[in-house]
């Protein structure tokens, strides 16, 4: 497949490259470049993670991370549990009403999951943390 000779022998019909995924990768790489590159993205991702984990660690155990070793914590997906499944279900519903979609944890383990992929702006996590603070005040 990566041999030019193979493509010549097959009149360039040996394999069609996956054009759409190549197009998407190009778009993502250009977006990364336009937003400061990998170093800038890492800086923002660290800020998002520090903000969310800092809030969780200071919540008195109300928002309890499922990964307790700080060295093993993800910058992309943060999982947590609340004191009860009822509070988790209410948080998911209240969050959806407030515009925070996709907070439900994995179907096999439950809980809450916050995805902070590169396209998620810092402002989104700032707003989520404010929502979490208010939720804890009302329900904690």
**What's the pLDDT band for 5 if we cut at 50, 70, 90?**
confident
Residue 86 has pLDDT above 90, yes or no: yes
Answer yes or no: pTM beyond 0.75. Answer: yes
What pLDDT does residue 3 have? 82
Residue 16 has pLDDT above 80, yes or no: no
How many angstroms separate the CA atoms of 93 and 89, rounded? Answer: 6
pLDDT digits (tens, 9 = 90+) for 51-70: 999 999 999 999 999 998 99
Parallel/antiparallel/unpaired status of strands 64-65 and 112-115: unpaired
Class of domain 37-139: alpha beta
What does the DSSP assignment read for 52-98?
Answer: HHHHHHTTTTSSEES---GGG--SSEEEEE-SSHHHHHHHHHHHHHT
pLDDT digits (tens, 9 = 90+) for 97-117: 999 999 999 888 889 999 999
Give the list of residues 6+ apart from residue 83 with CB closer than 8 angstroms, or none: 61, 62
Residue 8 has pLDDT above 90, yes or no: no
What pLDDT does residue 1 have? 65
What does the DSSP assignment read for 111-127?
Answer: SEEEE--TTS-HHHHHH
Residue spans per domain, the chain: 1-34, 37-139
């Amino acid at each position: 497949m990566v041999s030019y000779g193979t493509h010549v022998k097959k009149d360039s019909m040996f394999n069609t490259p996956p054009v759409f995924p190549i197009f998407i990768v190009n778009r993502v790489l250009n977006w990364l470049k336009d937003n400061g590159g990998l170093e800038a993205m890492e800086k923002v991702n660290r800020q998002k993670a520090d903000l969310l984990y800092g809030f969780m660690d200071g919540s008195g155990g109300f928002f309890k991370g499922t990964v307790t070793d700080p060295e093993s914590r993800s910058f992309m997906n943060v999982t947590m549990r609340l004191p009860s499944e009822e509070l988790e279900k209410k948080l998911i519903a209240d969050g959806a009403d407030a515009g925070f979609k996709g907070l439900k944890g994995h179907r096999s383990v439950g809980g809450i999951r916050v995805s902070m992929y590169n396209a998620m702006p810092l402002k989104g996590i700032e707003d989520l943390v404010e929502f979490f603070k208010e939720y804890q005040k009302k329900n904690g």
